[in-house]
Structure 1
Amino acid sequence: MILPNVPGINPNIPFADYLKLPGLSASALKKLMRSPLAFKWAKDHPDTGSTPALAMGTATHTAILEPERFKEDYVIWDGDKRGKDWLAFKEANANRSILSASEYENVEGMRNAIRNFGPAARYLQDGIAEVTIQWIDPETGRPMRGRVDWVTKINGQTVLSDLKTTRDSSPRKFGADAYKLGYHIQSALYCDGWYHLTGEFPRFVFLAVESKEPYEPAVFNTPEDVLAQGHEEYMRLQATLKECEDTNTWPPRAMEEQDLTLPAWAMDSEDEDLSDIGLDLTA
């Protein structure tokens, strides 16, 4: 796979440097989906720390998309994290990330599941990982940026792929999560950006793998109607953002008092055990 020789497409930008680039990203738009207040707070308080979940996600991405780099950047420690041996091991591997044996087994399970799954393997056979794209939105003049997990070509057409770990890779559940988490906005944004940079409109697929055994894999193509909806929504979000910037107001989700509404399924839940959904049943 050879990337187009186009300014704005770069596979050699470290993630920490990518975060410093100017431009509106899919991650920022997802914050704006929640509310302008959430967007502004995230912008003023950039998250530079790493959580255990984020660290595991990074390890999984590296193992699946850049296996050679994974071997160089990660080591296993399965002992007690106390005492001289641990301190010596940590010092000797100061420039590498340390996984426990169970964490490594989990990452390896996801890697094997997706790479040995025929519908996914065809995309991962040849390609380039972590490709940064930067462009100017022709409709708004706003700088945009994105980081594509994997770029390849299938039957002569460019395919942009995004790797997602998930609790449930079934079509119904993954589709619901995709809408809630703005995956359709991300896919539309990246496809539009690629088109503005190269003149070619790519396909976009999600490579999904469950994060627990048996690590069920799945591949989801993003059809035209989903991309169209994503485009419409991110343009609407850009309009909201411009209004907030022009007026310097960053409202929360709701500005007025609201009635409490219950989900539809709650009407039929009289005899159901609700102890596992996080409600305080003693209040």
Structure 2
Amino acid sequence: MATATETATVWRGPGVYSADELSLEQYHADIVPGGSLSSSGARALLDPGCPAQFDYDRRQPQLPKKEFEIGTAVHSVLLGSGADLVVVDAEMWNTKAIKAEVADIRADGHIPLKPSDMQQVADMVAAVRAHPVAGPLFTPGSGTPEQSLYWIDPDTGVTCRVRPDWLKHLPDLTLCVDYKTAVKADPEAVSKAIAERGYHQQDAFYIDGIQQVLGLPARFLFVFQSKTAPYLITVRELSDADRAIGRAKNQRALRIYAECTKTGIWPDWTGPTDSIPYISLPTWAATREAEEYLK
């Protein structure tokens, strides 16, 4: 959560905040008095997460993960917004001096990169620019990067927030283009990632937020890029049926968040109970083993 000073100097109510006005760190710290719910928060409240874990995690400072630095670096160059990239002129970061330099760069909020990593970032951005679909979507100057949008959910009264990667405004329509890097970016892998990471919830949450704040119809487009050369790209739009599932999950998460905020009780997976619940094997395991052993 943000400090009282940060909240007092930044928060001015629901609406649009530019990337210059509100940093990514402030966005994640949550500048809203009393708290707000993001798409990732809505996903964390539901299985396999739970309110207790969500409440703990949001109160802890989240350190940047080193394995995400390449993706974050590509994101920054592609969108022209985000952390500065600093090349450390060494391919091996195993000396005390280099480790200290890398630590200082990260402490300053920048991304340290090896020369080969910087070349990879440049090659990945070039692949996006050359892609027949993704390239025009991210044409420099044709969209707005990393705006933060805040609104009040009409059903629960919960303050919600999103930070779209790239908003491309067309006549009577806003395109929300979401860029993700992945180990695999083929359509089957993308489909699995959407299911496993709840990206259908993100899709619905962002569309609803954009329409609430900007008052225009919105479409959400996924741009997945492989982190392995030649850095192939898959661009997809979610089906209406899958988006409806994501929206229904978001609505449940909003109700849970509203209730937990009201009561101050953030339960774990089990919740209050006087008995020890039963647990079962996964359906696939029970079916397979029953066929083999219960003959």
**Could you say which TM-score interval applies, normalised by the shorter chain?**
0.7 to 0.9
Report the 3-state secondary structure (helix = DSSP H, G, I; strand = E; otherwise coil) of the residue aligned with 1:118: coil
1:51-200 residue pairs with structure 2 within 5 A? 51-66=65-80, 73-78=85-90, 81=93, 82=95, 96-125=110-139, 126-154=142-170, 157-200=173-216
Contact kept, 8 Å, 1:134 with 1:193, in 2: the verdict is: yes
Question: Which of 221, 227, 248 is matched with 1:232 structurally?
Answer: 248
Shift of 1:161: 1.1
CA distance in 1: counterparts of 2:124 and 2:235, whole angstroms: 14
Are residue 35 (structure 1) and residue 35 (structure 2) matched? no
Structure 1 residues 257, 45: closer, same or farther in 2, change over 3 A? farther
CA distance in 2: counterparts of 1:176 and 1:50, whole angstroms: 25
CA distance in 2: counterparts of 1:210 and 1:229, whole angstroms: 27
1:205-224 residue pairs with structure 2 within 5 A? 205-224=221-240
Report the 3-state secondary structure (helix = DSSP H, G, I; strand = E; otherwise coil) of the residue aligned with 2:228: coil
Are residue 9 (structure 1) and residue 22 (structure 2) matched? no
2:31 corresponds in structure 1 to 21
Q: Which segments of 5 or more consecutive residues in structure 1 lack a partner in the other structure?
A: 1-5, 269-283
* AA partner of residue 39 (structure 2): A
Shift of 1:106: 2.7
* AA partner of residue 16 (structure 1): E
Report the 3-state secondary structure (helix = DSSP H, G, I; strand = E; otherwise coil) of the residue aligned with 2:241: helix
Q: Which segments of 5 or more consecutive residues in structure 2 lack a partner in the other structure?
A: 1-12, 272-276, 290-295
Shift of 1:254: 4.4
Moved more, 237-246 or 54-63: 237-246
Aligned Cα root-mean-square deviation (Å):
3.1
Contact kept, 8 Å, 1:151 with 1:158, in 2: the verdict is: yes
* AA partner of residue 233 (structure 2): P
Are residue 261 (structure 1) and residue 274 (structure 2) matched? no
* AA partner of residue 57 (structure 1): G
CA distance in 1: counterparts of 2:125 and 2:72, whole angstroms: 12
CA distance in 2: counterparts of 1:93 and 1:261, whole angstroms: 42
Could you state the TM-score of these two structures normalised by the residue count of structure 2? 0.76
CA distance in 2: counterparts of 1:84 and 1:109, whole angstroms: 29
Structure 1 residues 84, 244: closer, same or farther in 2, change over 3 A? closer
1:271 corresponds in structure 2 to none
CA distance in 2: counterparts of 1:211 and 1:236, whole angstroms: 34
Shift of 1:168: 2.0
- Identity, in percent, stands at 25
